[in-house]
């Protein structure tokens, strides 16, 4: 998936965890656990967090209640800062996504980097599909890239922040093909899709769950999926590589981390809890319904993945001309 | 007729006793959530979603939607009684609602809010039933240039017809525009006016500004005025606690305005119910025969925005149910609830899940009646709150305001901001600066800036994109006419005559 360049921090942590194999017997939560998410009720991370809690409660995996805590603001910065304050606390965990990695790189105020927090477990990767309107002249990825090359800077993509995954995918595609097109930010998914459906922009890099029904009803056409292998639900859509564009497929990762300096026995406890939760029927249904890929990694692999992801993002954002502060 | 068959089927679903019960539960919870400032429908629906897992999609969505539109009914209560908006969509209701309460017409204002909500809410649902697919297509033709023109029109409507001093209004507007630009810039991810505070990266929440400049400032002002012995008048007798025929008659146009404006703006994914309520208030004021009376406590000033924020519900459900596109936070969580039950919101939902689609639509009609029946009898009861002596009421308002501000994002920093905005509102009232342009600038400014920049990105920097598209051009022309109208007394007279003939 991603080239594994083991970062020193990840390695040290890996050793720490590996050195305490029986540690999970030591930590046992005795009070209500807190699950910190960075979006408000209804946001992607909030929904994921609530689904996780529901799956855990359904399968009776936790002896105590788990409560969601919405620390909204700064695209993850408030939530990360809150976790950093809880240094060493075994009763608080949080849901991370790619903005936890990219925001601290670009924003001086977001001063808690992803590697300061304790990685616990990767849970899912969210794939993406590249879509155009059904009446678009572009039938394949090749058409789209040729079209963009013929009209440099004229085609438009609607998306979120320039730090978000859809902007990163555009950057990767542009630098590998030499085509150029505009990226127009909209704050909500609804506005992005409306701009595409109304014909005001030409394309989107979108989560399969958001686009699924619009593709099925023939309003949008998917040109490629940003995945390594074809997804179950989109058997007929080629992957980027199959469409002739061999670039790293930038995933949107979501998983769980803890405050800095979380005790190793607590990390081991949550690793085990999440591994069980990931197998629970409630969680598997959530993953299926939202067209996610279940990728469960342990603490040390999650740490290595995040370190890797950070250097990958750093390179892509620098190339995109985003001013990095760290 | 498909619609009639569908609706008949839907009533079959919605009138099942179990669904009637869930509809009532949703509406009731929604009313309470609406009354409590800070606690919004999105948070409540998120919390209650796990309880609906076992319910089945039709019952579940009927209940959760009840919370959504019920909250809009309840939001006006504290706006009117305490100058403390319960929801962001009821902020503008403070302007005239609270002034009505101060004049002893609290009951009438609450009654008008409930009746306007019912009329416009029902209109919104009716329009959703009949014209959902074509109106969704219209919404898609709306993009950034049109949003810019709409926001510009909104600013033109209220600012130039507001207050005694245009300069003071414009200064207040600029403060609002500045406050809304605090936070992370969407297009460059650069932070603006955050002063190194990570708590400001996400910007300032609208509810905190509104509760500060309305509720806190009002308490501070009345402390200064030494109102400790003076309790707001609450007339005795049921008849004096409900709106009079004359007041209802004055609201005829406001009911229609709120219904249509609220529904159309509700359909647009880029404009929420607070924008709908402001624009309908602006339209009401622009066409009124006595615009100078707005802000002094007139029933139209309550009926138009309260109608608009309820008609908005029907509008917001159009893109959700026909395209699977959520327009805001609350509809986004309704969407995820539907996905959870295995219903796929999108163009095929009407065929694939007729029970859920038509059951929900039918339940909206029923829910609106329930809310009216639930809310009207509460009016005389709620009006009694004003009998509480100020030495109890004021600390209570402070307490509820602080809890409300904290519950927005559980951040203590927000309480400091609340105090700051309370002082700002107080200073503004001492210096006789109007507060409504500030709020308006805050609500529209953010969306207007975004739309302008998106338009210019679409056109590669050509300003002509704003006038070369028909809908955008038409709205800009109307906005310019409104801006010029004070300079053209003759035009103004003509316009009033025209309104007089219609009315």
Predicted interface score ipTM higher than 0.90: no
CB within 8 Å: A42 and B184: no
Q: What is the mean pLDDT of residues A271-300?
A: 92
- Under an 8 A CB cutoff, do B189 and A47 touch? no
Is A3 contained in some domain? no
Most confident by average pLDDT, A4-18, A263-277, B239-253, B483-497:
A263-277
> Cα A136 to the chain's mean position, in Å?
29
Q: CB atoms < 10 A from the CB of A29, how many?
A: 17
Report the distance separating Cα B419 and Cα A282, nearest Å: 44
* Nearest neighbour of A69 by CB, restricted to B53, B191, B410: B410
CA angle B40–B93–B44, rounded 5-degree value:
10
pLDDT of residue A23: 45
Q: What is the mean pLDDT of residues B323-337?
A: 85
Task: Give chain B's mean pLDDT.
Answer: 87
Kindly report the three-state secondary structure assignment for every residue of B15-44: CCHHHHHHHHHHHHHHHHHHHCCCCCHHHH
B198: nearest CB among A70, A74, A289:
A74
CATH number for the domain spanning A137: value is: 3.40.190.10
Which chain B residues touch A201 with a CB distance below 8 Å?
458
**Which carries the bigger pLDDT value, residue A177 or residue A75?**
A177
CA B205 vs. chain centroid, Å, equals 15
**Are B46 and A286 within 8 A, CB to CB?**
no
CB contact under 8 A, B46 and A41: yes
d(CA A251, CA A265): 30
Give the nearest partner residue to A194 out of B269, B348, B460, using CB atoms: B269
- CA B459 vs CA B140, B144, B351, B452, B453: distances in Å: 18, 11, 39, 11, 10
CA distance B256 to chain A (A): 28
- pLDDT band at residue B305 under the 50/70/90 scheme: very high
Alpha helices in B56-105 (DSSP H): 57-82, 93-102
Q: What distance lies between CA B142 and its chain's CA centroid?
A: 21
Of A22, A20, A15, A67, the closest CA to residue A46 belongs to A67
- Nearest chain B residue to A286, by CA: B340
Chosen domain end from A167, A199, A234: A234
Best residue in A80, A134, A194, A322 to probe B by mutation, most B CBs within 10 Å?
Answer: A194
Which residue of chain A comes nearest to B331, CA vs CA? A42
Residue at A243 is within a domain: no
Cα separation values, A170 from A128, A145, A315, Å: 12, 11, 14
Compare all CA atoms of chain B with the CA of A58 and give the residue at the minimum distance. Answer: B50
A280 or A209: whose pLDDT is higher? A280
> Two tokens at B210?
């509104």
Domain end among A199, A234, A269? A234
Q: Is residue A242 part of a domain?
A: no
Instruction: Please give the share of chain B, as a percent, with pLDDT higher than 70.
Output: 92
- End of a domain among A204, A234, A264? A234
Our CA-based measurement puts residue B317 at a distance from the nearest CA of chain A, in whole angstroms, of: 12
CA B340 to chain A, closest CA, distance in angstroms equals: 7
Half-sphere exposure of B450 (CA within 13 A, CB side): 26
Residue B390: both structure tokens together = 């100020």
The residues facing A93 across adjacent strands are: A35
Q: Are A178 and A69 part of one and the same domain?
A: no
| pLDDT band per the 50, 70, 90 thresholds, residue B502 | low
Q: What pLDDT is stored for residue B487 in this prediction? A: 65
Q: Does A109 contact B330 at a Cβ distance shorter than 8 Å?
A: no
Min Cα separation A82/chain B (Å): 10
Is pLDDT of B121 > 90?
yes
From chain B, the residues in CB contact with A110 under 8 A are: 198, 201
Give a yes or no: residue A315 inside a domain.
Answer: yes
- 3 state DSSP class of A194: helix
pLDDT of residue B388: 83
Q: Enumerate residues 6+ apart whose C-beta is below 8 A from A256.
A: A93, A94, A95, A96, A120, A121, A123, A270, A274
Domain limits at A136? 129-234
Per-residue pLDDT reduced to its tens digit, B210-223: 999 999 998 898 88
**Residue A72 within a domain:** yes
Closest approach of chain B CAs to the CA of A172, in angstroms?
A: 18
pLDDT at A134: 94
Question: Does A161 sit within 8 Å of B336, measured CB to CB?
Answer: no
Q: What is the pLDDT of residues B39-82, one digit of tens each?
A: 788 888 888 887 887 788 899 999 999 999 999 888 899 899 98
Are B325 and A190 inside 8 Å of each other by CB? yes
* Residue that the structure tokens 């750093």 belong to: A314
pLDDT value for B499: 62
Domain count, chain A: 2
Q: Which chain B residues are within 8 Å of A69, Cβ to Cβ? A: 410
Per CB-CB distance under 8 Å, the chain A contacts of B457 are 156, 182, 184
A101 shares its domain with A53: yes
Least confident of B251-255, B291-295, B411-415: B291-295
Let me know whether A266 and A300 are in one domain.
yes
pLDDT score recorded for residue B407: 81
Give a yes or no: residue A136 inside a domain.
Answer: yes
The answer, yes or no, to whether residue B161 has pLDDT greater than 70, is no
* Contact call for A50 and B323, based on CB within 8 A: no
SS3 A222: strand
Residue A188, in any domain of the structure:
yes
Q: Are residues A120 and A52 in the same domain?
A: yes
Do residues A165 and A148 both lie within one domain?
A: yes
Cβ within 8 Å of residue A204, ≥6 positions away = A130, A131, A157, A158, A159, A166, A192, A193, A196, A211
Interface residue of B39, B44, B46 to substitute, partner A, most A CBs within 10 Å: B46
CATH at residue A259:
3.40.190.150
A195 interaction partners in chain B (CB closer than 8 Å): 143-144
Within A65-144, strands assigned E span: 66-70, 92-96, 118-126, 129-133
**Which chain B residues touch A188 with a CB distance below 8 Å?**
269-270, 326-328, 332
CA distance A73 to chain B (A): 4
Nearest residue to B447 via CA among B177, B162, B95: B177
Which has the closest alpha carbon to A33: A83, A80, A92? Answer: A92
pLDDT of residue A6: 37
Residue A19 corresponds to which tokens in the numbers above? 């050195």
CA distance B345 to chain A (A): 7
- Chain B contacts of A209, Cβ < 8 Å? 339
Return d(Cα A267, Cα A16) in angstroms, integer.
11
- B454 and A184 within 8 Å at the Cβ level: the answer is yes
CA distance B269 to chain A (A): 6
pLDDT in tens, A85-102: 899 999 999 999 998 999
């Amino acid at each position: 998936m991603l080239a594994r360049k083991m970062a020193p921090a990840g390695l040290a942590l890996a050793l720490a965890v590996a050195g305490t194999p029986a540690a999970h017997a030591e930590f046992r939560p005795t009070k209500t656990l807190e699950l910190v998410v960075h979006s408000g009720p209804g946001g992607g991370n909030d929904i994921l967090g609530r689904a996780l809690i529901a799956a855990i409660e359904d399968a009776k995996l936790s002896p105590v209640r788990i409560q969601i805590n919405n620390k909204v603001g700064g695209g993850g910065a408030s939530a990360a800062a809150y976790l950093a304050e809880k240094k060493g606390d075994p009763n608080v965990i949080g849901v991370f996504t790619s903005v936890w990695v990219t925001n601290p790189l670009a924003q001086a105020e977001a001063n808690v980097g992803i590697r300061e927090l304790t990685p616990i477990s990767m849970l899912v990767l969210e794939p993406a599909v590249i879509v155009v309107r059904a009446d678009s002249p572009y039938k394949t990825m090749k058409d789209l890239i040729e079209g963009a090359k013929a009209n440099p800077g004229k085609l438009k993509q609607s998306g979120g922040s320039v730090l978000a995954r859809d902007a990163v995918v555009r950057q990767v595609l542009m630098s590998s093909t030499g085509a150029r097109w505009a990226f127009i930010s909209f704050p909500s998914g609804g506005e992005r899709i409306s701009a595409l459906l109304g014909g005001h922009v030409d394309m989107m890099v979108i989560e399969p769950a958001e686009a699924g029904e619009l593709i099925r009803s023939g309003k949008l056409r998917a040109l490629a999926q940003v995945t390594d292998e074809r997804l179950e639900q989109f058997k007929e859509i080629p992957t980027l590589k199959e469409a002739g564009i061999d670039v790293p497929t930038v995933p949107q990762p979501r998983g769980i981390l803890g405050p800095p300096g979380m005790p190793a026995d607590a990390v081991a406890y949550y690793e085990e809890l999440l591994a069980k939760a990931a197998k629970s029927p409630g969680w598997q249904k959530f993953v299926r319904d939202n067209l996610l890929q279940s990728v469960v990694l342990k603490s040390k692999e999650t740490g290595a993945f995040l370190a890797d992801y950070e250097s990958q993002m750093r390179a892509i954002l620098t190339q995109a001309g985003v001013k990095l502060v760290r | 007729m498909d619609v009639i068959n569908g609706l008949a089927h839907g009533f079959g679903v919605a009138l099942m006793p179990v669904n009637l019960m869930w509809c009532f539960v949703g509406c009731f919870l929604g009313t309470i959530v609406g009354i409590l400032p800070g606690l919004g429908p999105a948070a409540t629906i998120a919390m209650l979603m796990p309880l609906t897992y076992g319910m089945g999609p039709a019952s579940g969505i009927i209940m959760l939607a009840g919370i959504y539109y019920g909250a809009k009914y309840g939001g006006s209560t504290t706006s009117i009684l305490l100058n403390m908006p319960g929801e962001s969509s009821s902020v503008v209701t403070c302007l005239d609602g609270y002034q009505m309460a101060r004049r002893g017409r609290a009951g009438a204002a609450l009654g008008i809010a409930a009746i306007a909500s019912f009329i416009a809410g029902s209109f919104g649902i009716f329009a959703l039933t009949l014209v959902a697919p074509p109106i969704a297509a219209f919404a898609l033709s709306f993009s950034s240039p049109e949003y810019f023109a709409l926001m510009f029109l909104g600013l033109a409507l209220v600012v130039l017809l507001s207050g005694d001093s245009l300069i003071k209004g414009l200064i207040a507007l600029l403060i609002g525009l500045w406050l809304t630009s605090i936070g992370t810039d969407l297009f460059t991810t650069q932070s603006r006016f955050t002063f190194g505070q990570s708590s400001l990266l996400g910007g300032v929440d609208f509810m905190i500004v509104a509760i500060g400049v309305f509720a806190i400032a009002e308490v501070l002002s009345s402390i200064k005025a030494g109102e400790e012995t003076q309790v707001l008048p609450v007339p005795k007798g049921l008849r004096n606690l409900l709106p009079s025929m004359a007041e209802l008659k004055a609201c005829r146009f406001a009911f229609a305005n709120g219904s249509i404006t609220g529904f159309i703006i509700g359909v647009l994914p880029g404009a929420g119910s607070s924008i709908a309520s402001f624009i309908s208030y602006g339209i009401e004021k622009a066409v009124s025969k006595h615009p100078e009376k707005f802000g002094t406590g007139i029933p139209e000033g309550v009926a138009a925005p309260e109608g608009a924020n309820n008609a908005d519900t029907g509008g917001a459900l159009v893109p959700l149910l026909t395209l699977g596109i959520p327009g805001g936070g609350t509809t986004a969580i309704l969407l995820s609830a539907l996905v959870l039950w295995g219903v796929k919101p999108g163009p095929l939902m009407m065929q694939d899940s007729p029970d859920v689609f038509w059951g929900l639509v039918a339940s909206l009609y029923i829910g609106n009646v329930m809310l009216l029946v639930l809310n009207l009898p509460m009016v005389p009861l709620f009006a009694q709150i004003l009998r509480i002596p100020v030495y109890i009421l004021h600390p209570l308002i402070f307490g509820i305001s602080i809890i409300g501000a904290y519950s927005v994002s559980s951040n203590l920093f927000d309480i400091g901001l609340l105090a700051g905005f309370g002082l700002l509102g107080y200073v503004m009232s001492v210096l006789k600066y109007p507060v409504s342009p500030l709020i308006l600038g805050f609500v529209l400014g953010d969306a207007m800036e975004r739309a302008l920049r998106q338009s210019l990105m679409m056109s590669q920097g050509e300003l002509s994109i704003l006038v070369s598209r028909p809908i955008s051009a038409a709205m800009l022309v109307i906005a310019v006419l409104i801006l010029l109208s004070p300079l053209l007394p003759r035009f103004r007279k003509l316009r009033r005559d025209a309104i007089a003939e219609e009315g």
